[in-house]
With several copies, the nearest count.
Chain A
Amino acid sequence: MNFDFDEDQRRLQEEVRRMLTTHSTSAAVRRVLEGAATHDDGTWQQLAKLGALGVALPERHGGAGMGLLELCLIAEEAGRALAAVPLLSSIYMSAEALRLAADDAQQGEWLPRLASGQAIGTAMIAQDDQHALPGAPAKLDGTHLTAIFNAVPDGMVADVLVALAGDALVLVELAGKGVTRSAQTSLDPTRPLARIACDTAPVAVLAASGGAAIAERVTDGAAVLLAFEQVGGAERALYAARDFARERIAFGRPIGGFQAVKHQLAEMYTAVELARGHAYYGAWALATGAPELPRAAAAARLAATEAYTLCAEEGLHLHGGIGFTSDMDCHLHLRRARWLAQIIGNRFWWQERLARELIGEDA
């Protein structure tokens, strides 16, 4: 039994972390926050250069042929760096859907471009079915799709969209005919959203049937990968607050010496460790294709959502007034934690999924 990543994996993680420290700076993230860019393309290209985008993709399609464990560690670092990049949409969701559903020619057409960062993908295949806006369920007519999608992550910058229509998985080129899109202001502007309407838009069919099962598998994988992003972000927020508490003086001593502050930080640490345990278990289930994946993925997502929410909220609070200024990064965590918590279905949806798994009920 060895419930940890190996040394090669840790070295790769270190390398990604170093790169992100250099490139995914607060200034780079804030360019996206302020609306000056759809994403942090500098960091994105660096990730591509390191082979991080294609780390889990086959070598023959431009990937590194390593695996999903490595992608988990890259996700953790991206989360830690608050990277404003389309990893979820382009890699965890669309590249994975293509890898699992598409034929070799389709993979050959798109995976090299996604792995190299030349193209960006997004996907609307999560099963949460939670709607605040009126939409139109995806309808496939042969090779033409009609649908209205809201809150599509990176929808304005994406080149292709993978969608689930009934039991079919299809790929839409977003520059093509019948597609109109408009930005939807995001509560985390560093992770933008869009409305995409397809009106009998031509599609490539990736899987005419069995698409729902693949979508479910991809969504579970995304839940694990997002959990790593959340763990990375949570840990960053935790240690930022810890560092602040060691330096900030009140009543003649560092506030980190006050037990209320110490214990709050201890609770945050504990939440992160719990989340890390579930995330690792999810990574194992994902990488080995274990039948435990649905429950492990849901648990990873729930524990990580709890940890990041706690660390973002309480990390900001421990900074006091300055933590609520725009200049500090605390609110970036608050926004990102919320975004990550809801983007493929909120905690209530994942809680119900985990409950069904534990109880042994069918959906």
Chain B
Amino acid sequence: MDFNDTAAEASFRNEVRAWLAANAAPRVGAEDKFGDGLDHAAYLAAAKEWQARKAAAGYAAIPWPREMGGLGGTPAQQIIYAQEEARFLVPSLVFEVSLGTALPTVAMWGTDEQKQRFLAPALKGEDIWCQMFSEPAAGSDLGNVRTRAVRDGDDGGDDWLLTGQKVWTSGAHFADYGIVLARTDWDKPKSKGLTMFIMDMKAPGVEVRPIRQATNDAHFNEVFMNEVRIPDTMRLGAEDQGWKIMIGTLMQERFSLGEQFGGDLYNRLIALAKQVRWGGRPAIQNDNVRAGIVDCYLRQFGVELIVKRGMSAISRGESPGPEMAAVKLVGARAFQTGGALAVELGGAEGLIAAQDLGQQWALPQTLWLSGAGARIAGGTDQIQKNTIAERILGLPGEIRTDRNVPFRDLESG
């Protein structure tokens, strides 16, 4: 058992650190963000430029083989890079879906031609990708997909026409391509009859509308498809293989999700509680506040420790499994609980938004509200618990009334 790097890891870390120091500004304050003051287009351009630089240095896809644009590195090196990058001010989020899930899916299931065409430009930041699985009626029930893909022409032409609606598509408004799940056979049961496609987001018939969230942000989109023409060469995997491909993609996503749920909100709580005064004394002297801080630490650092155990499994060449569901469950709740505690610290004055109360309140206030979203995105608490109960503890699945029924016969809702 060793929390420290091996010699090889330490040397890679130094290498990365040196490269980052030469190419980006270090993060100083906890509230520092890349691109303050940049407009959307400028931020996007900066993100693409940064991605190109990473790709040139081999850091765009560390575990990928060099001939695919990677570094032929280990998953541990990938983690080390991410840890080090977090200490610098670089654009984030733009390529998260591209590199985290969409491209690995193309790499896994794509034809040689598809890989040739799409992987390199995306790694270099020339193209941005999104992923379109969820639909209004397909939230927790992922298979309830109603977007239809039909062959163009009765004789089964070489193109598909896609019609339907996707929701919660991150980055759809600036993405160039997306992977999209559609129903190609309505006579098969729910999770069969689904096929995955690569869609040009600029194609005619694609309309992207932002979703305004409870936080007033609009990170996500609805994507409406009206007879969007997709050549059969842009089919990803075989017909009816869509469900299997999606599950693989989501498994990819799960581990990368895990890393988002750590953090040091407890340090923010400590700083705020030292500053806030209750009855003339710092709130940090209150044992209930101390209990809340300790609880936040136990959950946030605990989540990091579970992720670290997952990394150890990766180091050994194993792949971390459904136990990452516990990370999501605990981590998202800790955001909501810890954020709410921070807001509470201020009493009535804690109800003043950070813009008028002080920037040190911004992150906790955001977490208080967005924590509610974090508990839903990527699978609700209930879905995580189902995953743990069924896949880890071996308990029976829910009684399903929709399993062996042709999709066209299922009750709609």
Query: Which positions in A face B, CB cutoff 8 Å?
Result: 1-6, 69, 126, 128-133, 150-151, 184-188, 193, 242, 245-263, 265-267, 269-270, 273-278, 280-281, 283-284, 287, 299, 302-303, 306, 309, 313, 316-317, 320-328, 330-331, 334, 338-339, 341-349, 351-352, 354-355, 358-359
Contact = CB atoms under 8 A, between A and B. Distances in A.
B306 interface: yes
Contact of A299 (B301, B352, B375, B392): B301
B56 interface: no
B158 interface: no
A359 B275 CA distance: 13
Contacts of A193: 351-352
Contacts of A259: 382, 386, 398
B1 A3 contact: yes
Interface in B362-413: 365, 368-369, 372-373, 375-377, 380-382, 384-386, 388-390, 392-402, 405, 410-413
A355 B294 contact: yes
Contacts of A69: 1
A261 B330 contact: no
B232 interface: no
A270 B332 CA distance: 13
Interface in B322-356: 323, 326, 329-330, 336, 340, 343-353, 355-356
A188 B365 CA distance: 12
Given A338-B368, A354-B294, A358-B293, A280 B1 contact: yes
Nearest to B298: A303
30 contacts: A3-B3, A4-B1, A129-B278, A151-B348, A184-B352, A184-B353, A193-B351, A246-B394, A247-B413, A252-B401, A259-B382, A260-B382, A263-B382, A269-B326, A276-B309, A277-B303, A302-B294, A303-B302, A306-B298, A313-B336, A321-B139, A327-B212, A331-B214, A334-B369, A345-B347, A352-B287, A354-B294, A359-B270, A359-B290, A359-B293
B393 A1 contact: no
Most A CB within 10 A of own CB, among B289, B311, B340, B395: B395
Nearest to A324: B373
B315 interface: yes
Contact of B278 (A130, A150, A266): A130
Given A252-B400, A252-B410, A303-B298, A242 B395 contact: yes
B372 A281 contact: no
Most B CB within 10 A of own CB, among A3, A150, A253, A347: A3
Contact of B312 (A2, A303, A321, A345): A2
Interface stretch (B4-12, B24-32, B84-92): B4-12
The interface size bin for chain B is 35 or more
B14 interface: no
A358 B271 CA distance: 11
Contacts of B153: none
Nearest to B278: A130
Given A274-B302, A352-B287, A1 B396 contact: no
B142 to A, nearest CB: 10
Nearest to B399: A257
B395 A246 contact: yes
A342 B393 contact: no
Interface in B202-260: 211-216
Given A187-B365, A258-B382, A151 B398 contact: no
Main SS class of interface, A: helix
B35 to A, nearest CB: 23
Given A274-B298, A299-B301, A331-B369, A131 B349 contact: yes
A5 B134 contact: no
Contact of B323 (A251, A273, A317, A338): A273
Given A131-B349, A326-B213, A348 B270 contact: no
Contacts of B376: 317, 320-321, 323-324
B9 A257 contact: no
Contacts of B4: 1
A186 B352 contact: yes
A75 to B, nearest CB: 15
A313 B3 contact: no
Given A1-B6, A130-B346, A185 B352 contact: yes
Contacts of A278: 298, 301-302, 305
Nearest to A153: B348
Nearest to A69: B1
Given A132-B357, A270-B388, A324-B213, A261 B277 contact: no
Given A4-B313, A258-B398, A280-B1, 9 more contacts: A1-B5, A4-B312, A130-B350, A248-B413, A250-B140, A255-B140, A321-B376, A323-B372, A351-B291
Contacts of B1: 2-6, 69, 280, 283-284, 287
Contacts of A257: 395-399
A127 B155 CA distance: 79
A130 B349 contact: yes
Nearest to A246: B395
Contact of A128 (B289, B348, B369, B405): B348
Nearest to A253: B401
Contacts of A261: 382, 395
Contacts of A150: 348-349, 352
A69 B266 CA distance: 29
A317 B396 contact: no
Given A262-B385, A266-B393, A321-B377, A130 B277 contact: yes
Contacts of A316: 214, 372
A233 to B, nearest CB: 16
A344 B329 contact: no
B306 to A, nearest CB: 5
Contacts of B397: 257
A355 B395 contact: no
A149 to B, nearest CB: 10
Contact of A185 (B136, B215, B356, B396): B356
B76 A1 contact: yes
A262 B369 CA distance: 24
Most B CB within 10 A of own CB, among A130, A242, A265, A267: A130
B135 to A, nearest CB: 10
A129 B353 CA distance: 19
